[in-house]
Amino acid sequence: MSLELTAPAPDAPDVAEDGVWLADIETGETYAPFDEIRYTGEGGNLLEVRYAEPPTFEDFQGQGRGVWRYRAALPFEEGVTLPEGDTPLHEAPRLREDVGVETLRIKHEGMNPTGSFKDRGMTVGVRVAKELGVGRLACASTGNTSAALAAYGARGGMETLVLLPSGKVAAGKIAQAALHDARILEVDGNFDACLDLVQELAARGEVYLLNSLNPFRLEGQKTIGLEILEEFRDDYGRFPDRIVLPVGNAGNTSALYKAFRELVQSGALDPAEVPKLTGVQAEGAAPMVEAIENGWADTQRWEEVETRATAIRIGNPVNAPKALPGIRGTGGTAVAVSDEAITEAQRDLAREGIGVEPASAASVAGLRKLRDRGVVDAGEDVVCLTTGHLLKDPDAAFEAGGKPEPVPNDLDAILDHIGAN
């Protein structure tokens, strides 16, 4: 099945329900969306949610704000909501000038209810779980997924189980999942091992899987791209040339590409207006970059991954078969950056008043590297996606920031210390 940007809108098959169905991205086989629990097609191929009527920008008018403004692009009119979406598109004037691009805006997904973009996927995914009548939700996580799933599962009155790699998840994220009453299982292995286990639990019918392997998760994440297009157009009268985003499991890359494809299918967006999707990974966990650089159709699993950007410490991005066509089909690219560059970008954003966790800052570090290489032109309009809030990883924030300075309990001593005397 074609994932080309200009592929026409598909006709609705007999299995469609209210114009919605699932399709195997490799074979084109179609499935009813809610008759049974299904994560993949035959042979483990990835699925996509498809629609008989792709949305236009006019469909979103008068629909409020946030994720469910885009209900015309989603499988339901409303989900299990906190609410989510409607995140800021920050200006960063000093950073823009330093990097050297025409326009730089920061789409800060850390301003969602649980502090990351994952809330967008969960408002849809947990709603689907209710439609299917399941009672126990589960995910593997580097932290943000578990926090979001725990919160939305709690909101929906459902049991939640999360599998985390032991000793590899930031404390702020574990605290969120614990407080929202999830059962937390710490696995002696990395994220990919956790995902293998939770997929086995799902295959046995013990849990409903809400990692991004679940195609409905990505439907909510599409709305990041829709918001960016609308917000940027409202401010500048045009769409951005490029969107730079961190890549872990490659769910956001896949989701944004799908949003743009659907707008092209409806005639709302010209293919030439679609932003270049540009992925950024840490050097210690960069299988997507490896695949792009080598021209591979899929990634090769990295068994050993390490980076301080814990949210993207992933060696087997399950959505690569969707994301690689998205990067290539929009004329984008992918780049790996060092942990040191990520920390410096985190500081750069903080100096603009934008507080993000390390993985989020990878987008800015990647933009800087590509600008230095001449891959990104000075005249480009760029949006960098930051995916998680500063307080998701307070230890990393403390290490990156200035250290407290002990002073006596004396005004004159303090004045001397700060050089005011």
* Calpha distance 342→346 (Å, rounded): 6
**Are 114 and 149 spatial neighbours (Cβ–Cβ below 8 Å)?**
no
Q: CA angle at residue 148 from 144 to 154, to 5 degrees?
A: 145
| Residue listed under structure tokens 């092209």 | 264
Q: Is 387 annotated as a binding residue?
A: yes
How many CA atoms lie within 13 Å of 221's alpha carbon, on the beta-carbon side? 31
How many CA atoms lie within 13 Å of 231's alpha carbon, on the beta-carbon side? 21
Q: Is 250 annotated as a binding residue?
A: yes
Sign for the CA dihedral angle at 252, 256, 259, 262 comes to: negative
**What CA–CA distances, in Å, run from 354 to 90, 92, 101, 279, 350?**
8, 9, 19, 21, 5
C-alpha 362, offset from chain centre: 13
Q: Is 190 annotated as a binding residue?
A: no
Q: Is 223 annotated as a binding residue?
A: no
* Calpha distance 343→96 (Å, rounded): 18
Q: Which two tokens stand for residue 384?
A: 């960098």
**At 116, is the secondary structure helix, strand, or coil?**
strand
* Calpha distance 383→366 (Å, rounded): 12
Print the SS3 string covering 132-168: HCCCEEEEECCCHHHHHHHHHHHHCCCEEEEEEECCC
β-sheet bridge partners, residue 37: none
* Calpha distance 143→173 (Å, rounded): 5
* Calpha distance 173→344 (Å, rounded): 22
Q: Is 248 annotated as a binding residue?
A: yes
* Calpha distance 351→101 (Å, rounded): 18
In terms of Cβ atoms closer than 10 Å to its own Cβ (0-12, 13-18, 19+), residue 162 is buried
**What CA–CA distances, in Å, run from 79 to 70, 71, 130, 210?**
12, 9, 10, 15
Q: Is 44 annotated as a binding residue?
A: no
Binding-site sequence positions for pyridoxal 5'-phosphate? 144, 248-252, 387
Binding-site sequence positions? 144, 248-252, 387
